[in-house]
């Protein structure tokens, strides 16, 4: 039977941590917002945009507290847990708004940031209630680590069977070949040696890296193999899946050694990460780079769906132990966001949302069953393109206008990072089922664009970051806490 994702001891730890929060935040409520998504989904950009928009009162007509004139302001505050790195907001803004704007470095480890928000509650006559305060804690974590959560429910033998079945699948040959050869050359029942463990782990990591380069996502766990954070070179990362053994496994064998390391990885790395971060979230945004998967083809789309379903099955979503329920928080709202919607003309955004809905349908159904509300939205945290039209023969085509990043190429043209172009991005299918059932490939003209240049400034001299539907995302995620 799979083990539950948290043990009873973990549950107590979570309850105590929440009580601690309640004690320190006796006068100021705290909303913990998790920002997750697979690597390069757009977490760094989403959080940078979120912080900047709140700090400067950005252009957010769909964010009710601001539109209704009740949002007073925000400021950055010291995060209460000094052991967790701070989200590098200032550096990211510098990269985005320098003389030659570049996209900031993506999420590589966990980080957090606290914003203190001041607002006028709309619930009471303003004079009666005065100004209210909310701490907004934003928790950012690498997509790769998210994929580890399903491991908590799998024994070494179960995980090995799944991982080897994937590596053996037709089509995985090129990527998995050297690892499968290394595995075939080793007898897992012989005496354990670090050299064997390291060789296998290196070949396995190499296979994971190559499959990621080819767009696969669900083949990624264990996540720290590709993104070790502070664990680079640690023995906790020196294991690999092994085939089932018919004979009894001796305690001194390689099999026993790798099994113990796998269990240690789960207990010392994955479980604490889940207990200390996931289990304490109130709201969750799951960012999905839908367009990249569509562009990579049907296998990547299927793979993204598998990965998202696996990841989301691990959220608590209200299924808590009834005895502990008063102390344990639960995620009551999840926003699924298709990021980088500025790669498409706005006339395609509805279709992008429909595809996202289909992609997360399984996960969202589970979440709703467990009592969480969900919504899907196509958005851009920072919009890098504008829109136009081009006439071709007697057709008018909707285009996006932007500067492709240096080295990007399409139809034999390689761009220099300076030239602005108008691009017809292509059409998304009206019925998303064709992408999933028939595995149809969408023909998209997909280029990465440089961040927007010559940004506008507001009356206070602050840069205004252009976005797409970011205000609606914000309203859904935090608006009711500022009601």
Residue 340 touches ligand GDP, criterion: CB under 6 A = yes
Nearer to ligand GDP, 5 or 379 (CB): 379
Cβ contact 384:451 at 8 Å:
yes
What's the token pair of residue 254? 């390689």
d(C-alpha 451, C-alpha 404), whole Å:
9
Site for ligand GDP contains 380 (CB under 6 A): yes
Confirm or reject binding of residue 330 to ligand GDP (CB under 6 A). Answer: no
Binding of residue 40 to ligand GDP (CB under 6 A) = yes
Interaction of residue 447 with ligand GDP, rule CB under 6 A: no
Q: Which listed range, 55-63, 337-345, 358-366, 422-430, lies at the site for ligand GDP (CB under 6 A)?
A: 337-345
Applying the rule CB under 6 A, the residues between 384 and 413 that interact with ligand GDP are 384
For the bound state, the minimum distance from the C-beta of residue 53 to ligand GDP, rounded and expressed in Å, comes to 13
Residues 6+ apart with CB under 8 A from 158: none
Tell me which of 6, 18, 30, 44 binds ligand GDP, using CB under 6 A.
Answer: 44
Taking the C-alpha atoms of residue 69 and residue 265, their distance in angstroms, rounded to an integer, is 49
294 binds ligand GDP (CB under 6 A): no
From the list 74-82, 256-264, 336-344, 387-395, the region that binds ligand GDP by CB under 6 A is 336-344
> Does residue 342 sit in helix, strand or coil?
helix
Q: How many residues bind ligand GDP (CB under 6 A)?
A: 20
**Least spacing, CB of residue 220 vs ligand GDP, in Å:** 13
CA–CA distances in Å: residue 174 to residues 7, 49, 167, 171, 219:
40, 40, 10, 7, 14
Which of 15, 31, 45, 182 touches ligand GDP by CB under 6 A?
45
Cβ 222 to ligand GDP, closest distance in Å? 18
The span of 14-22, 53-61, 100-108, 156-164 binding ligand GDP (CB under 6 A) equals 100-108
How far apart are CB 449 and ligand GDP at their closest, in Å? 5
- CB closer to ligand GDP out of 42 and 298: 42
Calpha distance 462→466 (Å, rounded): 13
Measured from the CB atom, the residue of 38 and 183 that comes closer to ligand GDP is 38
Written as six digits, the tokens of 362 are 């399984």
452 Cβ contact partners less than 8 Å away, ≥ 6 residues apart = 101, 382, 383, 384, 465, 466
DSSP labels, 155-220: -HHHHHHHHHHHHHSTT-HHHHHHHHHHHHT--TTSBP-HHHHHHHHHHHHHHHHHHHHTT--TT-
Residue among 452 and 479 whose Cβ is closer to ligand GDP: 452
Cα separations in angstroms, 287 against 35, 43, 401:
8, 7, 24
Per CB under 6 A, does 43 bind ligand GDP?
A: yes
- Write down the least CB distance from residue 6 to ligand GDP, Å: 26
Instruction: Tell me whether residue 120 or residue 339 sits nearer to ligand GDP (CB atom).
Output: 339
- Helix (H) or strand (E) holding 399, with range, is strand 395-402
Stretch that binds ligand GDP, among 264-272, 322-330, 380-388, 421-429 (CB under 6 A): 380-388
Question: Which residues are CB-neighbours of 347 under 8 A, at least 6 positions away?
Answer: 398
Q: In what order do the strands lie in the sheet with 386-392?
A: 386-392, 395-402, 421-423
Residues 227-266 touching ligand GDP, rule: CB under 6 A, are none
Angle at 134 between CA 132 and CA 135, to 5 degrees: 155
> How many angstroms separate the CA atoms of 356 and 42, rounded?
15
Residue where the block lists tokens 């607002």: 119
Give the one residue of 449, 473, 475, 476 binding ligand GDP; rule: CB under 6 A: 449
- Answer for which of 14, 17, 30, 37 binds ligand GDP (CB under 6 A) is 37
Give the whole-angstrom CA distance, residue 362 versus residue 309.
6
50 near ligand GDP, judged by CB under 6 A: no
Q: Which is nearer to ligand GDP, 41 or 270 (CB)?
A: 41
Q: Which is nearer to ligand GDP, 342 or 471 (CB)?
A: 342
Residue 108 Cβ vs ligand GDP, minimum distance, rounded to whole Å: 8
| Minimum CB distance to ligand GDP, residue 39 (Å) | 5
Distance CA 206, CA 198 (A): 12
Q: Smallest distance from the beta carbon of 221 to ligand GDP, in angstroms?
A: 17
105: number of Cβ within 10 Å: 11
Q: Which of 6, 30, 39, 172 binds ligand GDP (CB under 6 A)?
A: 39
The residue (of 136 and 382) whose beta carbon lies closer to ligand GDP is 382
Q: What residues line the site for ligand GDP (CB under 6 A)? A: 37, 39-45, 103, 106-107, 339-340, 342, 380-382, 384, 448-449
């Amino acid at each position: 039977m799979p083990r539950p994702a948290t043990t009873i001891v973990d549950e107590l730890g979570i309850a105590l941590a929440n009580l601690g929060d309640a004690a320190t935040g006796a006068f100021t409520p705290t909303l913990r917002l998790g920002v997750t998504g697979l690597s390069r989904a757009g977490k760094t950009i989403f959080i940078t945009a979120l912080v900047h928009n709140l700090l400067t009162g950005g252009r957010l007509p769909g964010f009710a507290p601001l539109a209704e004139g009740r949002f007073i302001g925000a400021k950055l505050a010291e995060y209460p847990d000094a052991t967790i790195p701070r989200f590098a907001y200032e550096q990211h803004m510098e990269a985005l708004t320098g003389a030659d704007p570049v996209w900031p470095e993506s999420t590589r480890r966990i980080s957090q940031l606290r914003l203190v928000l001041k607002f006028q509650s709309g619930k009471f006559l303003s004079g009666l209630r005065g100004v209210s305060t909310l701490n907004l804690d934003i928790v950012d974590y690498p997509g790769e680590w998210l994929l580890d959560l399903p491991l908590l429910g799998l024994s070494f033998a179960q995980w090995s069977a799944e991982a080897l079945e994937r590596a053996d699948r037709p089509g995985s040959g090129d990527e998995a070949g050297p690892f499968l050869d290394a595995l075939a050359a080793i007898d897992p029942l012989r005496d354990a040696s670090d050299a064997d463990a390291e060789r296998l782990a290196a070949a396995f990591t190499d296979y994971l890296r190559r499959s990621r380069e080819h767009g696969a996502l669900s083949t990624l766990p264990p996540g720290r193999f590709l993104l070790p954070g502070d664990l680079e070179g640690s023995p906790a990362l020196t294991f690999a899946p092994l085939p089932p053994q018919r004979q009894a496994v001796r305690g001194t064998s390689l099999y026993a050694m790798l099994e113990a390391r796998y269990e240690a990885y789960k207990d010392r790395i994955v479980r604490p990460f889940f207990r200390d971060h996931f289990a304490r979230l109130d709201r969750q945004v799951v960012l999905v780079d839908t367009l990249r998967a569509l562009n990579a083809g049907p296998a990547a789309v299927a793979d993204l769906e598998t990965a998202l379903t696996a990841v989301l099955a691990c959220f608590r979503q209200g299924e808590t132990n009834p005895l502990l329920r008063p102390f344990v928080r639960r995620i009551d709202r999840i926003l699924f966001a298709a990021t980088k919607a500025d790669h498409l003309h706005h006339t395609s955004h509805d279709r992008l949302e429909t595809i996202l809905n289909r992609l997360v349908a399984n996960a969202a159904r589970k979440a709703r069953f467990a009592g969480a509300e969900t919504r899907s939205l196509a958005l851009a945290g920072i919009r890098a393109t504008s829109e136009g039209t081009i006439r071709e023969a007697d057709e008018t085509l909707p285009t996006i206008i932007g500067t492709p990043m240096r080295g990007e190429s399409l139809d034999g043209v390689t761009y220099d990072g300076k030239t602005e172009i108008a691009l017809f991005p292509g059409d998304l299918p009206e019925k998303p089922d064709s992408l999933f059932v028939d595995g149809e490939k969408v023909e998209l003209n997909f280029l990465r664009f440089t961040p927007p240049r010559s940004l506008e400034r507001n009356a206070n001299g602050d840069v205004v970051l252009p976005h797409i539907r970011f205000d609606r995302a914000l309203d859904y995620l935090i608006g009711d806490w500022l009601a």
